[in-house]
Structure 1
Amino acid sequence: MPKILALHELTTEHKNMIQAAAPGFELITSKIGELAPGMVREAEILLGWSSKVEGEAVAPDSHTKWVQVWSAGVDKLPLDAFRQKGIRLTNASGVHSIPITEHIFAMILGFVRNLHHAVRQQTNRHWDTAGTFTELAGKTIVIVGVGQIGRQTAQVAKAFGMRTIGVRNSGEPSPHIDVMYKVDELTKALSEGDYIVNILPLTPLTTHIFDRDKFAAMKDSAFFVNVGRGQSVVTDAMVEALQAGKLAGAGLDVFEKEPLPQDHPLWSMDNVIITPHKAGDTDQYAERVIDIFLDNLKAYTQSRPLHRNVIDYDKSY
C-alpha cells in the first residue's frame, strides 16, 4: 500500500479527511526526530519538509513522487534534485495572504500614527506628544511581487483610499492595482511610492534586487516594508539610506542573516520596526495548508494533474 508521511502534527479531523480523500494510501505521522530508518524513502507523498529528510527523499531508490511543503517559500529546498528525480512540489502559497497583509498594514499604520515611538515611550513611562502624524488616504503604495498576498494587500490599500502600483514579471493587470509595471521597470515604480512593500520570492533574479540604486530611486519620505525574503535586499545599502535620511523608515520581518545579530545597527534605529520572521503566522495556518493538500490529493489519487500551488522549477516558485 502506498504511503503518505506527514511530518507535522495533524488533528484527528485532518487525518480522517486525508484518509477519506486517499483510501488506498496508508497515512503515517511522525516528528522529524522520531523518523525510523527508511520511513521517508518508502513514502510516496511527503506532507511537510525538513533538510534532515533530503537524503532519503531524493535517493535513487526513493518512492517519493510528491512533496507538499508547509511554507510558501521553496528557495531552501533541493529544487534541482527534485526536478531530476521527477518529484512534484507544491507549496502553501495563499495560506499567508490574510496574516501577512495584516502584518504589512500593522507596520505601515504603526509608522503613520507614530505607534513605534509611543510603545518605546510607554516602556519608559514618558509622556511625549512629539512626532509626525499623517494619513494613508491619497498616498501611493508600491507592491513589489503581485501574487496572492500582493492582491490581498492591494484590496486593503484601496479600502484606505490609497493609489496602488504593482510590479510583477508578466506586467499583467490585477484587481485593485491602478498601474502595473514589469520587474525591469522597478526603478520607475519605486520613484512613485510613499510606501514600498516587498513580497518577492527569492530566486536568482530577485537576490539583492533592492540595491543602492533602488533605494536611491525611492522618495526620501518613503517607508519600506520587507515581508518577502531578506536576501532580496542589500542590507548595508538599506541601512545607509536610513542613516542618511534617504529613506524615512522601514518595517522588516525578514533579514539576510537570521536571527538578526544583536550588534546590528537596525536594532537601535528609532525609524525601524522589527519583527522576527513572524508575518505569516496565524492560528488558521494548518487548516489552510490541509485544504490545499486535500484538493491536490483528490486529483492525485484520480491520476489527474495537481492544480494548486505547483512549483515551476524553471522559475523557482
Structure 2
Amino acid sequence: MTKKWLLATSLKEKHLEQLQNMYADYEMLCTQENAEALAEVEWVVGWNKGLTEQLEAGRLPALKWVQVISAGINNYPLQSFKEKGIYLTNGSGMHSEAIAEYVIGVLLTHMRGLRTAILNQQKQKWEQMTDLHELKGKTMLIVGSGHIGKRLAQLAKAFGMTVIGVNRSGNAVAEMDRTVKMEDIQTVIGSADVVVDILPQTDLTEHVFDAVLFGDMKKGVLFVNVGRGATVDNASLLGALAEGTVAFAALDVFEAEPLAEDSPLWGHPNILITPHFSGVVEHFKDSLFEIVQENAESFRLQGKPLRNVIDFEKNY
C-alpha cells in the first residue's frame, strides 16, 4: 500500500515539485473519484463539499491533516475533524497585508471624499467638499488582534492614530497602544472614532455587534467589518445608521453570501459594500505555499503540522 496525499486546490508547478520531492514515497492524487485511493490519503491541501461527504461517509479513514486555503473555517466540518482527531490548519496570516490596506483604503475613501467625487464624476458635477477628515489624531478600535489586527494597527499608527485592541485575554499586543478583554469592550468602544470588526465566527461572536454595542459607540463613528458577517446584527447596524451613531459602514462580509438582491444594505447611502474581496492577495499562491511547506515539513518530521493549527474548542 502506497501512502497518499490529495491536492484539492491549485498550486504552482514548482511548489508541487517541492512537495513531491519532500514526499517522494507518497503518491499525489489530484482527483477524489477513486474511493480505494482516497482511503489511503493521509493529508489534503484544499477542501470541498465532496470531501466533506466522503469524510462523513467514512471513506477517508487514514486522513490525519487538512490544510485549507482560507482564514475562515466556519464552512468546514469542524465537528467531524475534531471527533476523528484530524488536524486542521488554515491560511491565517497571508491575508493580513491585503485586508489591513483595504481597511485604510475604505476609510480614506470616505473621509477624504473620494467616494462622493467618483459619483460626481459620473454626473459631470464639480463639487468642492469641505467636510473632510483626517485619520491623524483619531482613535481606532480593532476588535480581534490576530495577524490582521496587528498589521492594521501598524498602518493606523503610521497615519498618527491611537489604536486600542480587543481580544479574548486582554493581553498586551506590541503593535497597539492598549488592549482590553472582549468582555470589557463597553469600557472603550465609546472613545473610538473608527471601529473595525475582525472577529472570527464562533458561538461566542454571533451578533456580538448588536443594538446594545452600537448604542455604546460614539456618535458619528465609522464601522468596518472584515471579520465575519454573522458577527453583526444587520438590523441593529441599520438602526445605528438611522440614528446617526454610525456615520459610515464599509462591509466586506455578510451572513449569507452573495448578499441578497433585496437586502436593505445595498441601497443605503452611508454603506459601502464590497463582495468579500478584502483578503484577495496579489501573490496568493506564493503566500499560501509558505504555510503549506512549513506544515508539510513538520508533518513529515513530527507527524503533525505546527502553523495555524485550529483549536476546536475555540474554532479558530
Give TM class, smaller chain. over 0.9
Moved over 3 A (4+): 39-42, 58-61
How far 1:131 moved relative to its partner?
Answer: 5.4
Q: CA deviation at 1:54?
A: 0.7
- The amino acid that maps onto 2:30 is T
2:33 maps to which residue?
36
Counterpart contact for 2:206–2:230, Cα < 8 Å = yes
Match of residue 22 from structure 1: 23
Contact 2:222–2:249 (Cα < 8 Å) also in 1: yes
Quick one: which amino acid aligns to residue 170 of structure 1?
Answer: S
Structure 1: segments with no counterpart, 5+ residues: none
TM-score (norm 2): 0.95
1:163-182 paired onto structure 2 within 5 Å: 163-182=162-181
Contact residue 167 and residue 189 of structure 1 kept, 8 A: no
Q: Which residue of 2 aligns with 1:70?
A: 69
| Matches of 1:270 and 1:101, distance apart in 2 | 24
What is the CA–CA distance in structure 1 between the aligned matches of 2:21 and 2:34, rounded to whole Å?
28
How many angstroms does 1:61 deviate by? 4.8
Counterpart of 2:207? 208
TM alignment of 1:222-301, pairs within 5 A: 222-301=221-300
Per-residue Cα deviation, 1:256-293 (whole angstroms, up to 9, x for no partner): 22222222222222221110001101221111111111
Could you tell which deviates more after superposition, 149-158 or 43-52? 43-52
Deviation at 1:4, TM superposition (A): 1.4
Q: Count the aligned residue pairs.
A: 313
- Work out the CA distance in 1 between the residues paired with 2:39 and 2:211: 46
Matches within 5 A, 1:59-98: 59-62=57-60, 63-98=62-97
Residue 54 of structure 2, aligned match among 44, 53, 56: 56
More displaced 10-residue stretch of structure 1: 49-58 or 74-83? 49-58
TM-superposed CA distance for 1:7, in Å, is 1.1
In the TM superposition, 1:100-179 aligns within 5 A as: 100-130=99-129, 132-179=131-178
Once the 2 structures are TM-superposed, how far is the Cα of residue 132 of structure 1 from its aligned partner? 1.8
Higher alpha-carbon deviation: 258-267 or 47-56: 258-267
* Distance (Å, rounded) in 2 between the aligned partners of 1:133 and 1:184: 34
The one-letter code matched in structure 1 to 2:33 is A
Q: Secondary structure at the match of 1:312?
A: coil
Deviates more, 1:298-307 or 1:248-257: 298-307
Query: How large is the Cα RMSD of the aligned pairs?
Result: 1.4
286-295 or 165-174, larger mean C-alpha shift: 286-295
Partner of 2:6: 5
- Higher mean displacement: 133-142 or 184-193: 184-193
Q: Residue 267 of structure 1: SS of its match in structure 2?
A: coil
Q: 2:145, 2:167 within 8 Å by CA — same for their partners in 1?
A: yes
Residue 314 (structure 1) aligns with: 313
| Compared CA separation, residues 27 and 93, structure 1 to 2 (3 A) | same
Q: Which runs of 5+ in 2 are unaligned?
A: none
**Distance (Å, rounded) in 2 between the aligned partners of 1:16 and 1:227:** 35
- The 3 A distance-change label for structure 1 pair 40 and 304 is closer
1:237 Cα offset (Å): 0.5
* Sequence identity (%): 38
Query: Alpha-carbon deviations, 1:84-121, whole Å to 9, x = none?
Result: 11111000000100000011111111111011111111
Cα separation, 2, equivalents of 1:194 and 1:120: 25
Q: Residue 164 of structure 1 aligns to a residue in which SS?
A: strand
CA contact (8 A) 1:295 1:308 kept: yes
Q: In structure 2, what is the Cα distance between the partners aligned to 1:58 and 1:300?
A: 23
Tell which deviates more after alignment, 184-193 or 157-166.
184-193
Give 1:188 shift: 1.9
